Chain A
């Protein structure tokens, strides 16, 4: 497989995962806002921070109100992490590599992008927001299913999976970080009546609520939620499971030693941290998430260097 194609597929998968995760996040946040009284301070601002988009948001908008934040996250093409921006980027990446993809995958990505752009051309109609998010999530899920059901087990599939898992790992930690920052108690007595709701929203952002309830039968508590999201080996959107899958996929690629090693380091970090104790200390959790994210960057660099850019040797290494 061409290095350039591998790189495009990797980014396509990252952008699709980002579109889906952002849609889930927005959907849950919106429902949460509806449950809050009046002008809840929790606010929309945290969604921008979760996405790591403070700078670009502030460049185009002044106020972090619902309309601005939702427009920015869902439909602003100037921001490549917005849902429409991500779908457009996924489509562009696929456009240059569609000869390696089953045709229906291209058709679906194309259709999804067109349908979504049609719902929101320019501004957000809040009444259509739920429709929009449902279309995005279902579309992305349909694509996951199509890739699974129609793409042979070749490097093309592997790079899609790798991109998807890495982006998902990144989103999981972002959600945990920012959501928890204003959730974790500074003092043990500092409980608000909404704390329960907010921890539920962390779970719901990751579609983890039902699975959490099945496995953790107690009421929703911070330490349990943090442990579940970081360490659960069964839940698809738990970090441990996600990194494990990433490792398994990378392992099948040629010359994978470095990238696998970087993922192993991350798994090692998870094994040593006492996740439950992190929940009691927002500062330590934040620092831990920072380290994880640096680790994700190192994984990305290893992937980039090994397969996308690192084959420029002047004396041909022939691999027929």
Chain B
């Protein structure tokens, strides 16, 4: 690999997060670009190796389904950070807060008065057909009216520089631990760059998460008992469950550790006997959380926990049924939802969306399968998608049938030209497509947005699929302070 020369970097026709054009780093990225081109090729390789060793030693892993004996893989990480200037981030942050606030109002409304349907803004038949609407949640008002306490929204940037919201994950969004670990790895391997004090820290998240969860406790006591409920070590996000529990200093429990008493309160089995649980940060899907109410086969859940929740004896985060609003068809209505509840225009735009349930939209989608990205309304992880421009005629024909058979289940969006950022390959630095998943915490009185988020990168040249389960990697995300000379606040007069 030759020494990095940004003049040779081929980002023509793409929006690059770090460089305005070949040889011209954006102001916020100047320092890191200078640094990387100042060291020789061997040193760059050494950085890469150091990061790999750090990841292995720190045991940062993710789990891949059906991977036989090897259930853990080292987390794929690219040392070159993705950089966003702080003034731009302030705008994104305001947009996300607005969006999540509206979504929580929307969910609370759907399970209670349904004003938005009565007012004719949201079609009743959409709700009737929603697979994530939970009848068992109707009439419930969780503390503060909050259903989606933790939201992970996926953002993408198009080639004109506009940042769009691609989707909202309101059920059990994952990835935040990797955001934190990516920072730890970068600090280990490139400490020099952090000494400028211009890269805003991200470490506050576990404390913020803890405060939010504690604020949700039904019992008004100084130290409510909070637990993280995991499906267990074979879950792909187990690493994250353990990490967050550890960082918050709370117990990581499995379903079998919890029991619902005859008083309809939740207890955990401990060496001291049974201990009352106030808040469950649950990372188990709705349908598995209580075999008495949902899937009776589930061994991951806690029998009776829904009973305890409905009586207000325990808070579940996120609330069961919150997924009703992260359906990709509902997504298309989010701008309307924001206007309806907040009487304001959306700060962050949605990607234009075609709903196959609407006849005009469907005909357009069927006629343009080769140009569009078609998504099932309720899948996550990038499975079951059709990426038009990269698909074969057979795949398109298959999707046409699927759409006709069940139009409500599909929506389509134009293929955006996703932004790129310099990424280290085996023998060069090349542009690769990225997205960004920030996390938003809501307690009803407070909303917190992570500083940046998890940048995912499609490591395969030209690929748009960033999911780690399908060959994606990740990067540290730097929000760089662009105010003034970047001095640490509090200095000077």
Interface residues of A (CB under 8 A from B): 1-6, 92, 95-100, 103, 106-107, 110-111, 114, 155, 253-254, 307, 311-320
Residues A314 and B242 in contact in the complex (CB < 8 Å), given A254-B271, A319-B274, A320-B275:
no
Residues A2 and B233 in contact in the complex (CB < 8 Å), given A312-B269, A313-B274, A319-B275:
no
Give the total of B residues in contact with A, Cβ under 8 Å.
Answer: 32
B270 contacts the other chain (Cβ, under 8 Å)?
yes
Do residues B269 and A318 form an inter-chain contact, with CB atoms below 8 A? no
28 inter-chain pairs at a CB distance below 8 angstroms, sorted by A residue, are A1-B271, A2-B257, A2-B271, A3-B269, A4-B256, A5-B252, A95-B242, A98-B59, A98-B242, A99-B242, A99-B245, A99-B251, A107-B57, A254-B271, A254-B272, A254-B273, A311-B269, A311-B270, A313-B273, A313-B274, A316-B267, A317-B274, A318-B273, A318-B275, A319-B270, A319-B273, A320-B225, A320-B275
Question: Which of these, B57, B243, B257, B276, contacts A318 with CB under 8 Å?
Answer: B276
Q: Give the distance in Å from the alpha carbon of A315 to the alpha carbon of B57 in the complex.
A: 45
Q: Give the distance in Å from the alpha carbon of A311 to the alpha carbon of B242 in the complex.
A: 24
Question: Which of these, A114, A311, A317, contacts B56 with CB under 8 Å?
Answer: A114
Residues on B with C-beta less than 8 A from A106 are: 59
- Would you list which residues of chain B between 231 and 267 have a CB under 8 Å from chain A? 232-233, 242-243, 245-246, 251-254, 256-257, 259, 261-263, 265, 267
B416 contacts the other chain (Cβ, under 8 Å)?
no
- 3 smallest A-B Cβ distances: which pairs? A99-B246, A319-B272, A99-B245
Residues on B with C-beta less than 8 A from A99 are: 242-243, 245-246, 251-252
Q: Give the distance in Å from the alpha carbon of A315 to the alpha carbon of B259 in the complex.
A: 10
The winner among A103, A155, A316 for most chain B CB atoms within 10 A is A316
B58 contacts the other chain (Cβ, under 8 Å)?
yes
Q: Give the distance in Å from the alpha carbon of A254 to the alpha carbon of B242 in the complex.
A: 26
B215 contacts the other chain (Cβ, under 8 Å)?
no
Residues A110 and B273 in contact in the complex (CB < 8 Å), given A4-B257, A100-B246, A315-B261:
no
Residues on A with C-beta less than 8 A from B56 are: 114
Residues on B with C-beta less than 8 A from A315 are: 261-262
- Would you list which residues of chain B between 181 and 206 have a CB under 8 Å from chain A? none
Residues on A with C-beta less than 8 A from B267 are: 316, 318
Residues on A with C-beta less than 8 A from B225 are: 320
B268 contacts the other chain (Cβ, under 8 Å)?
yes
Residues on A with C-beta less than 8 A from B233 are: 92, 95-96
Say how far B232's CB is from chain A's closest CB, in angstroms.
Answer: 8
Name the residue of chain A whose CB is nearest to the CB of B254.
A4
Residues A317 and B273 in contact in the complex (CB < 8 Å), given A4-B254, A110-B57, A114-B56:
yes
Do residues A2 and B270 form an inter-chain contact, with CB atoms below 8 A? yes
Interface residues of B (CB under 8 A from A): 56-59, 225, 232-233, 242-243, 245-246, 251-254, 256-257, 259, 261-263, 265, 267-276
Give how many A-B residue pairs fall within 8 Å (CB-CB): 91
The winner among B56, B225, B233, B252 for most chain A CB atoms within 10 A is B252
Say how far A2's CB is from chain B's closest CB, in angstroms.
Answer: 5
Q: Give the distance in Å from the alpha carbon of A254 to the alpha carbon of B252 in the complex.
A: 21
Question: Which of these, B242, B251, B254, B276, contacts A320 with CB under 8 Å?
Answer: B276
Say how far A144's CB is from chain B's closest CB, in angstroms.
Answer: 20
Name the residue of chain A whose CB is nearest to the CB of B58.
A107
Question: Which of these, B242, B265, B269, B276, contacts A2 with CB under 8 Å?
Answer: B269
Q: Give the distance in Å from the alpha carbon of A320 to the alpha carbon of B243 in the complex.
A: 25
Other A-B pairs, 8, CB within 8 Å; known A2-B271, A95-B233? A1-B271, A5-B251, A5-B252, A97-B252, A98-B246, A311-B270, A311-B273, A319-B273
Residues A314 and B271 in contact in the complex (CB < 8 Å), given A4-B254, A107-B57, A107-B59:
no
Q: Give the distance in Å from the alpha carbon of A313 to the alpha carbon of B265 in the complex.
A: 14
Residues on A with C-beta less than 8 A from B252 are: 5, 97, 99
Residues A2 and B253 in contact in the complex (CB < 8 Å), given A114-B56, A316-B265, A319-B274:
yes
Do residues B261 and A110 form an inter-chain contact, with CB atoms below 8 A? no
Do residues B271 and A6 form an inter-chain contact, with CB atoms below 8 A? yes
Q: Give the distance in Å from the alpha carbon of A307 to the alpha carbon of B275 in the complex.
A: 14
Question: Which of these, A95, A111, A314, A318, contacts B262 with CB under 8 Å?
Answer: A314
Say how far B60's CB is from chain A's closest CB, in angstroms.
Answer: 10
The winner among B243, B251, B263 for most chain A CB atoms within 10 A is B251
Residues on A with C-beta less than 8 A from B242 are: 95-96, 98-99
Say how far A62's CB is from chain B's closest CB, in angstroms.
Answer: 27
Name the residue of chain B whose CB is nearest to the CB of A155.
B271
Residues on B with C-beta less than 8 A from A100 are: 246
Q: Give the distance in Å from the alpha carbon of A316 to the alpha carbon of B260 in the complex.
A: 9
Say how far A217's CB is from chain B's closest CB, in angstroms.
Answer: 46
Q: Give the distance in Å from the alpha carbon of A311 to the alpha carbon of B272 in the complex.
A: 8
Q: Give the distance in Å from the alpha carbon of A314 to the alpha carbon of B260 in the complex.
A: 9
Say how far B279's CB is from chain A's closest CB, in angstroms.
Answer: 15
Q: Give the distance in Å from the alpha carbon of A111 to the alpha carbon of B245 in the complex.
A: 22
Residues on B with C-beta less than 8 A from A114 are: 56
Residues on A with C-beta less than 8 A from B263 are: 316
The winner among B232, B254, B273 for most chain A CB atoms within 10 A is B273
Name the residue of chain B whose CB is nearest to the CB of A102.
B246
Q: Give the distance in Å from the alpha carbon of A314 to the alpha carbon of B57 in the complex.
A: 43
Say how far A77's CB is from chain B's closest CB, in angstroms.
Answer: 10
Do residues B271 and A316 form an inter-chain contact, with CB atoms below 8 A? no
The winner among A1, A4, A103, A254 for most chain B CB atoms within 10 A is A4
Name the residue of chain A whose CB is nearest to the CB of B251.
A2
The winner among B58, B256, B261, B269 for most chain A CB atoms within 10 A is B269
Q: Give the distance in Å from the alpha carbon of A74 to the alpha carbon of B256 in the complex.
A: 35
Residues A307 and B271 in contact in the complex (CB < 8 Å), given A96-B233, A111-B57, A320-B276:
yes
